[in-house]
Amino acid sequence: MTSELLQQVRVINPVSGTDQISDVLIDNGYIMSVANHICDLPNDAHIRDGHGLILGPGLVDLYSHCGEPGFEERETLSSLLHAAAAGGFTRISVLPDTSPCIDNPAVVAQLQKRGGELEEMRKMGKGDVNSSPLTSSTSLTLPFLNIWGAISLDVAGKQITELIDLAAVGVVGFTDSQPWENFGLVRRVLEYLQPLSKPVAFWCCERELMGNGVMREGSDAIRLGLPLIPASAETSALAALLELVSATSTPVHIMRVSTARSVELIASAKARGVPITASTTWMHLLLDTRAVKSYNTSLRLEPPLGTPSDLAALRQAVRTGVIDAIGIDHTPYTYEEKTVAFAEAPPGAIGYELALPLLWQHLVETGEFTALELWKALSTCPAECLKQKTTALAPGQKAELALFDPQQNWKVEKQNLYTLSSNTFWLGQQLTGRVVQTWC
């Protein structure tokens, strides 16, 4: 493997809390040196001018949806991994709502085998993303695949999967990624999972309160004439879950936080020592109910976009660590599935290739977030929520890195995306910022 020297690149290191200009030498998959200037190079070293580029730990996604198996027209595992790589992700975590559901060791083994085949192709030089749809100078490697195991065997959540068997075959943790209605069973799950030391994640939503709503309650929803979802649909379920976590002491990750009141509940629980981590999604940090006036079905999300006060509270919570991480929740759908009335559209939007450029542009470039705050919430903190270690960007450490060009302009079009789907609010728009290389 050829050695690579990145000269005078901006190095963001959330582990050490540093943001500085340095030379970085990478050799045979390891970081060999990080210094002001590196002169002693291997003979085969490839030198790259890093001026204006940003190097940081590879991004880590907590939860996203894969079409394979069952919905390959939306996304295959290969297209998902390629899209994630193009977004700077070196680890992704697939939710269990495939068809068949990831509720038994056989399905886990099927995905692991497929991931292994793609990895073998990568090692042979066939699985790397050697060139981007946008530029031949892009060089990316496929990310590591984490697999979530399902908690329940049925939609109603009345029968628990064989959790021990799933843990034995290497699932990253357990979630149904759907709201639970039977809190007696939730308590039992928390008791069962305690000795397994695996993450368990819940999306807090009371379906009865949600009803047929598609938009957060407030003046915007009234003006647009869309069915309302009260904030209490989230907060009532969250309050109940926090009580169960407090009683059982089983660590839990709270997915898809979307309201200001939820931030308050989580902050209070953490102050009491309740063992929880939490995440919101990247789109809930960028947009609020005012954007829905376009009736763009890619803004039909679950949970729905919050009010402006929700958005402000979520941003502040990420900065202060009340919300630990930013999830992508990449949810691909075909053109036909999304080309319907707003209230009839399935919820979700793609995100892997868009999240970092848009978050950087709207949060870091505006000065609301520091580069360290954003990168930490997208890399080391998600890994910690998954109970995985991340390595510092330092000599002797494995090179799990992403190189980002914050000035590269590109247009969001289907032919410029690796994902098979294009259900995004930003379709057809010009963006600034693109990942140009990953090491994994």
Active-site residues: which are they? 329
**Which pLDDT belongs to residue 53?**
98
Q: Which residues are within 8 A (CB) of 270 and not within 5 positions of it... i.e. 6 or more apart?
A: 276, 322
Give the model's pLDDT for residue 140: 84
Angle of CA points 83, 88, 92, to nearest 5°: 65
Distance CA 372, CA 364 (A): 9
Instruction: Count the Cβ atoms, other than its own, within 10 Å of residue 79.
Output: 20
Q: Which pLDDT value is given to residue 155?
A: 55
The answer to whether residues 26 and 3 touch, using CB atoms and an 8 Å cutoff, is yes
20 in Cβ contact with 12 (< 8 Å): no
Strand duo 430-439 + 401-411: pairing: antiparallel
Which contacts of 43-47 are long-range, i.e. CB under 8 A and separated by 24 or more positions? 44/2, 44/3, 45/2, 45/3, 45/4, 45/5, 46/2, 46/3, 46/4, 46/5, 47/5, 47/7
CB 323 within 8 A of CB 257: yes
Domains within the chain, CATH numbers bracketed: 58-392 (3.20.20.140)
Give the whole-angstrom CA distance, residue 87 versus residue 358.
11
Provide the strand spans (E) within 98-213: 144-149, 173-174, 201-203
Averaged in consecutive runs of 10 residues, what is the pLDDT profile of the chain (440 residues)?
90 96 95 93 89 98 96 96 96 96 95 88 62 63 95 74 95 93 91 94 96 96 96 98 97 98 98 98 98 98 98 98 98 98 98 98 98 98 95 91 97 96 98 96
Q: Which residues lie below 8 Å from residue 250, measured CB to CB, with a gap of 6+?
A: 190, 191, 193, 194, 200, 275
Which pLDDT score is estimated for 431? 98
pTM: 0.95
Under 8 Å between Cβ of 178 and 186: no
Closest CA to 178 of 39, 48, 63, 76: 63
| Whether the Cβ atoms of residue 215 and residue 224 lie closer than 8 Å to each other | yes
How much is the pLDDT for 104? 94
Is the sign of the CA dihedral 342, 345, 348, 350 positive or negative? negative
Rounded distance between C-alpha atoms, residue 162 and residue 173, angstroms: 13
The tokens for 272 are 């009491």
Count the residues in the chain: 440
Closest CA to 57 of 380, 321, 382, 386: 380
Do the Cβ atoms of 331 and 348 come closer than 8 Å? yes
